[in-house]
């Protein structure tokens, strides 16, 4: 009976090649690998042709997926090569590390993700991470490490750093690469002796001691089961704790006794766990991601493992190809000179092979001619080398994960590690289904897709950026509590969000339509949250969830007395009502809620505009602009079937007794002399809103910013003529008002754009006369406000205004052009076309 303890560096290509050759020489009848024993039943999946690394073992606690751990494997990981050798040779494989049931129980509430964000963050020590095959500390970071929860005796120095310093290296990473990775022929016995020297006098912490005790227990069980040639693959640091006197033929000599190990493992806390394979990425394997046992250059290590002959030449040739793909001029002569430079640098530095530092300097100096920007491209594409692994369909999954895989195939969206942009045309059934799937996943907190600003102005297009991350599998496991399919789970979660019984834990709310957030904590559901949820239900096509959200919205709106909350909620509701039909989703009940919200906004706006400081005025102005834009959508939209009076928005008029005092009975002067008033025009949302703004704009206590903006809105809506606007502007800029208020009035008035001043010389003259009449000290005070106002205009607008002002100063203002007679017959065709575009072709002959 022989026990061969093979110490490796996790994710080391040289270690992987050496281990593969050593296993072929030893021909073991069982292979023990550092990792969670719960995964023993899943090892057989490694021989499935659909299993493509990088992959990872994922262990989690059912009902609490935040307590989870990953054990990633790349093709150049020694553990993966050991698994592949065993399954191809038909010999059993067992994992020998501390079970995940114990390691997760020992760290309650500290998820062990690939990013190392658990309570032991940073590089996981031998006692630091349940990452098993990858969380192992092989001492290459050159810093001291303390095990979580361990005493001072658990502090130890970096073993690789100590060996590197003894060899005269100031960089432990470079020493390990020169001694092991770039050679591939370092005997495992040499590694064992080096680690034994470094560990001399080391007192393991409690967690490290328990891990090594369980490894020894697993070896003893394999011996008891009758295996004769046992190969143990573990982190190099653990070799002295497992080998003992094995080289002398008596395994166990010098090691702790069975009784001592049993005492260490007795009474360990335990939780129920489930384990499976999940895809992994090289980006998550990189050390810069925060993953403790990661490597800085997984793409480079993959290349070293896959290209044992002439790796430098092949790497620089691939780098030249990547640069050529970006239309950068790189010739074969560049590659030849780059190879010579890399090899020369390796010789000067005494390295057995040019490493990543040498080939990167050759790329920068020769291929990129000293430019760092293309070097960064090579680093991103090749040094890290984003690639996403794949697991077979036979892998254990929760029903929600399996349903998502089916949906991804149905809509032909393949998960990829690199960001990929999709421009979806919602008029196409396939793109519509893709959009619905992505919106449903975002409701579940799975941020696979990130909405982008669409290049199209139409509502039938969406742009997305898709990139799959390994942690999304944890999100899916957590979301499986809501249902077994994506639509069912999204519907259930929306219902609970609407009732305020669940906190939001997902991805950021999408931008654009449907971009409002969802509740951040139980019981904190705001009106804006609910209106955003309505939009997201429509975007995700969840008709069963929408009634629950609308009921919650009605109740919340009835209790909310803050008019700014109502104003913030209205635009999202109007967008949902207006654009829901683009997706073919039903928005029944929205019109009634929109009408009620608008009525309450009209009633409460008068009280909301009083006593405002500058910041409050700007905040309210933003809400006013939002409501104004939303009301324009209502008024211009197609009439809803069955809408009373043919209202374009489908909103019913207010019932009797619920009138809004802000709206006058009719136009000014009508019915004022006691004569019978003319029949009132049919009320629409826009007329109701403009009537409210008209009355509010006449208040004497308005902030200048609000008064100026309301005047501009009424002018643009043709509710005021230029003569009335000129009168109001003259009053605002009169000597009775402070200059700062006049400047605020101008800022609000011009916030809709500067073209008005280009085409209306009278208004421009009023502003010019007021500004030139200011005292010097007053001019200095109002100048920042005016610069902010005019600085927001486009450059052509500013140039045109300057030209007009120059004409005013010289008295050569251009006379108004005489309006020519219009040929009605020639104009009819153009009018008909415009009305058709606006959706009013039926009135083109009126």
DSSP 8-state symbol, 365: I
Compute CA distances 474 → 66, 281, 394, 398, 755, whole Å: 8, 15, 19, 11, 54
Q: Which of 146-155, 156-165, 715-724 has the lowest mean pLDDT?
A: 146-155
Average pLDDT rounded to a whole number, residues 649-661: 34
- Residue 551: the pLDDT is 83
Residue 57 has pLDDT above 80, yes or no: yes
- Residue 31: the pLDDT is 95
Selected residue with higher pLDDT from 12 and 212: 212
Angstrom distance (rounded) from CA 677 to CA 440: 54
Of the candidates 462, 353, 449, 473, the one whose C-alpha atom is nearest the C-alpha of residue 401 is: 473
- Residue 587: the pLDDT is 57
Ramachandran angles phi, psi of 5, nearest 5°: -100, 115
Spatial neighbors of 285 by CB under 8 A, at least 6 apart, are: 11, 54, 72, 74, 114, 291, 294, 295, 298
Angstrom distance (rounded) from CA 418 to CA 203: 44
Average pLDDT rounded to a whole number, residues 426-444: 93
Residue 78 and residue 12 in contact, taking contact as beta carbons nearer than 8 Å: yes
Spatial neighbors of 299 by CB under 8 A, at least 6 apart, are: 282, 381, 382, 383, 384, 385
- Residue 508: the pLDDT is 36
Spatial neighbors of 187 by CB under 8 A, at least 6 apart, are: none
| Token reading at 513 | 């339509």
Exposed/middle/buried for residue 728 (C-beta within 10 Å: 0-12, 13-18, 19+): buried
- Residue 519: the pLDDT is 39
pLDDT grade, residue 172 (50/70/90)?
Answer: confident
| Token reading at 637 | 């939209």
- Residue 383: the pLDDT is 87
Angstrom distance (rounded) from CA 714 to CA 729: 13
Please count the residues of the chain. Answer: 846
Residue 619 has pLDDT above 60, yes or no: yes
- Residue 809: the pLDDT is 59
Angstrom distance (rounded) from CA 529 to CA 498: 9
Q: Give the pLDDT confidence of 248-299 residue by residue, as tens digits.
A: 456 777 788 899 999 999 999 999 999 999 998 888 887 544 444 567 788 8
Ramachandran angles phi, psi of 844, nearest 5°: -65, -25
Q: Give the pLDDT confidence of 226-240 residue by residue, as tens digits.
A: 999 999 999 888 998
- Residue 721: the pLDDT is 83
Of the candidates 240, 223, 256, 140, the one whose C-alpha atom is nearest the C-alpha of residue 189 is: 240
Residue 213 has pLDDT above 90, yes or no: yes
In which residue are the tokens 């402070």 written?
738
Selected residue with higher pLDDT from 822 and 516: 822
In angstroms, the first-to-last Cα distance of the chain is 102
| Token reading at 462 | 């969406």
Per DSSP, the residues of 101-168 read HHHHHTSTT--B-TT--STT-SS--TTT-S-HHHH---S-S-S-B--TT--GGG-B--HHHHHHHHTT
Distance of CA 523 to the CA centre of its chain: 25
pLDDT grade, residue 440 (50/70/90)?
Answer: very high
pLDDT grade, residue 502 (50/70/90)?
Answer: low
Name the β-bridge partners of 55: 73, 279
Residue 87 and residue 44 in contact, taking contact as beta carbons nearer than 8 Å: yes
- Residue 319: the pLDDT is 93
Compute CA distances 342 → 333, 438, 563, 699, whole Å: 14, 46, 69, 78
Exposed/middle/buried for residue 752 (C-beta within 10 Å: 0-12, 13-18, 19+): middle
- Residue 253: the pLDDT is 72
Compute CA distances 559 → 5, 555, 562, 570, whole Å: 70, 7, 9, 15
Angle at 117 between CA 112 and CA 119, to 5 degrees: 75
- Residue 558: the pLDDT is 74
Residue 700 has pLDDT above 80, yes or no: yes
Selected residue with higher pLDDT from 348 and 646: 348
pLDDT grade, residue 458 (50/70/90)?
Answer: low
Q: Give the pLDDT confidence of 409-420 residue by residue, as tens digits.
A: 999 999 988 788
Residue 730 has pLDDT above 90, yes or no: no
- Residue 148: the pLDDT is 39
Pairing of strands 2-8, 30-33: unpaired
Average pLDDT rounded to a whole number, residues 771-788: 79
Average pLDDT rounded to a whole number, residues 300-325: 90
Average pLDDT rounded to a whole number, residues 422-442: 92
Average pLDDT rounded to a whole number, residues 180-189: 75
Q: Give the pLDDT confidence of 194-203 residue by residue, as tens digits.
A: 888 888 888 8
Walk across the sheet containing 229-235 and list its strands.
2-8, 229-235, 30-33, 93-95
Spatial neighbors of 415 by CB under 8 A, at least 6 apart, are: 279, 388, 408, 448, 468
Angstrom distance (rounded) from CA 734 to CA 792: 25
Q: Give the pLDDT confidence of 522-552 residue by residue, as tens digits.
A: 446 777 788 788 888 888 888 888 888 888 8
Instruction: Report which listed range, 330-339, 476-485, 508-517, is most confident.
Output: 330-339
DSSP 8-state symbol, 145: B
Angstrom distance (rounded) from CA 649 to CA 643: 8
Exposed/middle/buried for residue 168 (C-beta within 10 Å: 0-12, 13-18, 19+): exposed
Residue 467 and residue 507 in contact, taking contact as beta carbons nearer than 8 Å: no
- Residue 580: the pLDDT is 56
Average pLDDT rounded to a whole number, residues 94-119: 66
Residue 435 has pLDDT above 50, yes or no: yes
What percent of the chain has pLDDT above 70? 78
Selected residue with higher pLDDT from 602 and 295: 602
Residue 627 has pLDDT above 60, yes or no: yes
- Residue 457: the pLDDT is 60
Residue 556 and residue 600 in contact, taking contact as beta carbons nearer than 8 Å: no
pLDDT grade, residue 80 (50/70/90)?
Answer: very high
Average pLDDT rounded to a whole number, residues 150-178: 68
Ramachandran angles phi, psi of 577, nearest 5°: -70, -40
Average pLDDT rounded to a whole number, residues 629-646: 53
Residue 184 has pLDDT above 60, yes or no: yes
Spatial neighbors of 558 by CB under 8 A, at least 6 apart, are: none
pLDDT grade, residue 140 (50/70/90)?
Answer: very low
| Token reading at 747 | 């800022």
Spatial neighbors of 212 by CB under 8 A, at least 6 apart, are: 126, 204, 238, 241, 242
- Residue 635: the pLDDT is 54
- Residue 789: the pLDDT is 76
Instruction: Report which listed range, 291-295, 476-480, 679-683, is most confident.
Output: 476-480
């Amino acid at each position: 009976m022989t026990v061969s303890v093979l110490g490796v560096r996790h994710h080391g290509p040289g270690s992987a090649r050496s281990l593969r050759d050593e296993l072929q020489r030893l021909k073991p009848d069982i292979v023990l690998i550092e990792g969670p024993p719960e995964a023993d039943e899943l090892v057989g999946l490694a021989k499935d042709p659909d299993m493509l690394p990088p992959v990872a073992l994922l262990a989690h606690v059912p009902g609490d997926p935040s307590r989870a751990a990953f054990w990633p494997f790349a093709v150049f990981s020694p553990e993966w090569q050991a698994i592949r050798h065993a399954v191809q040779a038909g010999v059993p494989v067992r994992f020998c590390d501390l079970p995940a049931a114990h390691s997760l129980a020992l760290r309650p509430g500290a998820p062990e993700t690939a990013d190392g964000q658990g309570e032991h963050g940073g590089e996981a020590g031998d006692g630091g991470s349940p990452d098993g095959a990858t969380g192992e500390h092989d001492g290459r970071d050159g810093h001291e490490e303390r095990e979580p929860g361990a005493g001072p005796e658990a502090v130890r120095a970096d073993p690789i750093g100590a060996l590197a310093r003894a060899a005269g290296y100031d960089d432990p990473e470079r020493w390990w690469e020169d001694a092991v990775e770039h050679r591939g022929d370092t005997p495992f016995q040499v590694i064992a002796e080096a680690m034994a020297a470094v560990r001399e006098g080391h007192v393991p912490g409690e967690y490290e001691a328990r891990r090594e005790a369980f490894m020894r227990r697993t070896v003893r069980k394999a011996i008891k089961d009758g295996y004769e040639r046992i190969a143990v693959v573990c982190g190099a640091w653990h070799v002295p704790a497992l080998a003992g006197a094995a080289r002398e033929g008596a395994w166990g000599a010098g090691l702790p006794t069975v009784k001592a190990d049993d005492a260490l493992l007795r009474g360990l806390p335990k939780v129920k766990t489930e384990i499976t394979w999940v895809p992994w990425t090289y980006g998550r394997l990189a050390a810069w991601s925060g993953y403790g046992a990661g490597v800085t250059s997984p793409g480079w290590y993959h290349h070293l493992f896959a290209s044992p002959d002439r790796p430098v030449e092949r790497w620089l040739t691939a780098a030249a190809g990547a640069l050529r793909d970006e239309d950068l001029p790189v010739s074969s002569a560049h590659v030849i000179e780059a190879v010579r430079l890399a090899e020369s640098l390796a010789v000067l530095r005494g390295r057995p092979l040019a490493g990543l530092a040498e080939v990167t300097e050759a790329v920068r100096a020769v291929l990129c001619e000293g430019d760092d920007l293309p070097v960064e491209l090579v680093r991103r594409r090749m040094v890290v080398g984003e690639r996403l692994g794949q697991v077979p369909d036979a892998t254990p999954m929760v029903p929600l994960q399996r349903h998502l895989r089916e949906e991804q195939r149905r809509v032909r969206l393949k998960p990829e590690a690199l960001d990929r942009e999709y421009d979806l045309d919602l008029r196409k059934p396939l793109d519509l289904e893709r959009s619905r799937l992505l919106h449903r996943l975002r409701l579940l907190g799975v941020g696979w897709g990130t909405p982008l600003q669409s290049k199209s102005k139409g509502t039938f297009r969406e742009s997305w950026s898709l990139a799959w991350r390994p942690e999304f599998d944890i999100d899916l496991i957590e979301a499986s509590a809501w249902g077994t399919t994506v639509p069912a789970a999204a519907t259930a979660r929306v219902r609970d969000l609407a009732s305020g019984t669940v906190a939001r834990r997902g991805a950021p709310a999408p931008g654009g339509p449907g971009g409002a957030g969802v509740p951040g904590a139980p019981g904190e559901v705001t009106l804006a949250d609910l209106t955003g949820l309505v939009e997201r239900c429509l975007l995700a096509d969840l008709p069963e969830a929408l009634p629950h959200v609308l009921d919650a919205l009605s109740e919340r709106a009835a209790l909310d007395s803050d008019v700014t909350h109502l104003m913030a909620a209205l635009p999202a509701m109007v967008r949902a009502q207006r654009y829901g039909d683009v997706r073919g989703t039903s928005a029944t009940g929205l019109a009634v809620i929109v009408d009620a919200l608008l009525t309450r906004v009209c009633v409460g706006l008068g009280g909301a505009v009083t006593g405002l400081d500058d910041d409050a005025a700007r905040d309210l102005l933003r809400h006013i602009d939002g409501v104004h834009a939303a009301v324009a959508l209502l008024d211009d939209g197609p009439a809803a079937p069955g809408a009373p009076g043919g209202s374009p928005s489908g909103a019913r008029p207010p019932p009797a007794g619920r009138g809004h005092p802000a709206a006058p009975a009719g136009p000014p002067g009508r019915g004022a002399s006691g004569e019978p008033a003319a029949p009132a025009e049919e009320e629409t949302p826009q007329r109701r809103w403009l009537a409210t703004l008209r009355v509010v704009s006449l208040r004497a206590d308005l902030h200048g910013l609000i008064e100026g903006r309301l005047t501009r809105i009424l002018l643009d809506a043709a509710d005021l003529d230029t003569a009335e606007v000129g009168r109001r502007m003259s009053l605002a800029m009169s000597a009775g008002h402070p200059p700062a208020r006049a400047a605020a009035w101008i800022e609000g008035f011009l916030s809709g754009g500067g073209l008005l001043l280009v085409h209306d010389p009278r208004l421009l003259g009023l502003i010019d006369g007021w500004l030139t009449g200011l005292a010097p000290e007053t001019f200095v005070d109002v100048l920042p406000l005016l610069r902010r106002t005019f600085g927001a205009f486009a450059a052509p607008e500013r140039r045109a205004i300057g030209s007009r002002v120059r004409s005013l100063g010289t008295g050569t203002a251009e006379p108004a052009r005489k309006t020519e007679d219009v040929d009605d017959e020639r104009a009819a065709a153009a009018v008909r076309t415009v009305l058709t575009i606006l959706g009013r072709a039926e009135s083109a002959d009126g």
